Amino acid sequence: MDIFNVPQGNFQLQRFPRRAKEALRAWDAADEYLLQTIAEQQLIQPQPRILLINDSFGALATALAEQRPTVVSDSYLAHQGTFANLQENGIDTNRVTLCDSLSWPDGEFDLVIIKIPKSLAMLEDQLHRLRPRLNQQTKIIASAMCKQIHSSTLKLFERIIGPTHTSLAKKKARLVFSQFDQQLKVGESPYPKHYVLEGTEFTLTNHANVFSRESLDIGTRFFLAHLPKNIGKGTIIDLGCGNGVVGLIAAQHNPEATLQFVDESYMAVRSAQEGFLTAFPQREAQFAVMDCLRKIEKASVDTVLNNPPFHQNNVVGDHIARQMFKQSHRALKQGGELWVIGNRHLSYHVKLKKLFGNCEVIATNKKFVILKSVK
């Protein structure tokens, strides 16, 4: 296990979900730079109220646990990772308060530490939600690897928080310091955004961190054109639901089916719920934040529909997709079906064939392939 050496102590940290041969660390140089600067500049006052935003696997929360920080994140995996790393280091998990990205804590904070998210939309929404929790004395310090900090990132801080400057780069990471300006007129967050799904009357809700939040993704569009129809009374899970568009069209094609929407992003599940309830106010459905299908009973599901992610945070790879396929196999009844869309070059058919013993090509075009495996 890797040791995270920072002025606050030495901590054993792991990424989440845990993998037997994990090659990647659970923190980056931006976390180290933040914690070194907080110690050097003595930014922690006695009994501070500290807010940590977007801590990936709990590196910051673990190092600052003594100060009882509050953590806001949109990721269920980040919450689970924080919990596991606190436990691993013998730290009482009650020292850290975990909040999801739609239920921020009340009150003002003395120190706000932000890991700048990949999505500018998410940063914009978070800065809007942060503003009422600041006062003139609040210290605001953000960080990311240099390649993730653009002039548009800094403009957002300037526009929504106040005067902003950056530090020198250190190990390819940079810090952003912002000063709260109470006089700024910033208006409301533009999120969630809505659009009408082409060819339908359905309006989709898109909270800031949702995949393809401005318009329908081209892969998803291809998937929608080939979804299963009239499966009868079964359970259909939209796994990695994003704004829930796949489950929504599956519900339309399968009027007797019961839909479940699953994602590890709180904003995704809330978006799916709002969109579905607007489209089908009378229809029952379930909405759950979880890692893949871990909380779903074994052999209980008829159909899983899945457009898997090809990255976790900034790490590209098919490790989450593989987890999703494994979990689907476990959750499906005998004879149940997993439908997957992916880029042709990702070779999902090899993994599915290995797991299910079969894999049929339902449709293909220049870029995408839709596959079906039966348990």
Ligand X SMILES: C[S@@+](CC[C@H](N)C(=O)[O-])C[C@H]1O[C@@H](n2cnc3c(N)ncnc32)[C@H](O)[C@@H]1O
Instruction: Give the count of beta carbons closer than 10 Å to the beta carbon of residue 327.
Output: 22
The region of 135-143, 162-170, 262-270, 360-368 touching ligand X under the rule CB under 6 A is 262-270
Residue number, 41 or 343, with CB nearest to ligand X: 343
Question: 113, 122, 237, 268: which one contacts ligand X (CB under 6 A)?
Answer: 268
Give the contact letters, 174-213, x = binds to ligand X (CB under 6 A), - = no.
-------------------------------------xx-
Amino acid occupying residue 159? R
Alpha helical stretches, state H, 41-94: 59-63, 76-88
Closest CA relative to residue 184, chosen from 157, 152, 160: 160
Minimum distance from CB of 216 to ligand X (Å)?
7
Segment 299 to 318, residues that bind ligand X, using CB under 6 A: 307, 309
Dist CA 324 CA 332 (whole Å): 12
Q: Does residue number 246 form part of the binding site for ligand X (CB under 6 A)?
A: yes
Question: What does each C-alpha distance from 290 to 11, 74, 228, 286, 295 come to in angstroms?
Answer: 26, 12, 24, 12, 7
Minimum distance from CB of 212 to ligand X (Å)?
5
Residue number, 173 or 272, with CB nearest to ligand X: 272
Quick one: CA dihedral 313, 318, 323, 325, positive or negative?
positive
Question: 32, 55, 264, 337: which one contacts ligand X (CB under 6 A)?
Answer: 264
The region of 85-93, 103-111, 251-259, 263-271 touching ligand X under the rule CB under 6 A is 263-271
Q: Which residue has the tokens 């596959």?
A: 371
Q: Does residue number 263 form part of the binding site for ligand X (CB under 6 A)?
A: yes
Question: 192, 242, 275, 342: which one contacts ligand X (CB under 6 A)?
Answer: 242
Q: Does residue number 245 form part of the binding site for ligand X (CB under 6 A)?
A: yes
Question: 2, 158, 217, 360: which one contacts ligand X (CB under 6 A)?
Answer: 217
Closest CA relative to residue 336, chosen from 232, 262, 263, 252: 232
The pair of structure tokens assigned to 71 is 């953590």
Q: What is the DSSP letter of 23?
A: -
Dist CA 245 CA 93 (whole Å): 36
Closest CA relative to residue 67, chosen from 91, 93, 88, 96: 96
Total residues interacting with ligand X, rule: CB under 6 A? 20
Q: Does residue number 265 form part of the binding site for ligand X (CB under 6 A)?
A: yes
Which residues would be at the binding site for ligand X (CB under 6 A)? 77, 211-212, 217, 220, 240-242, 245-246, 262-265, 268, 291-292, 307, 309, 320
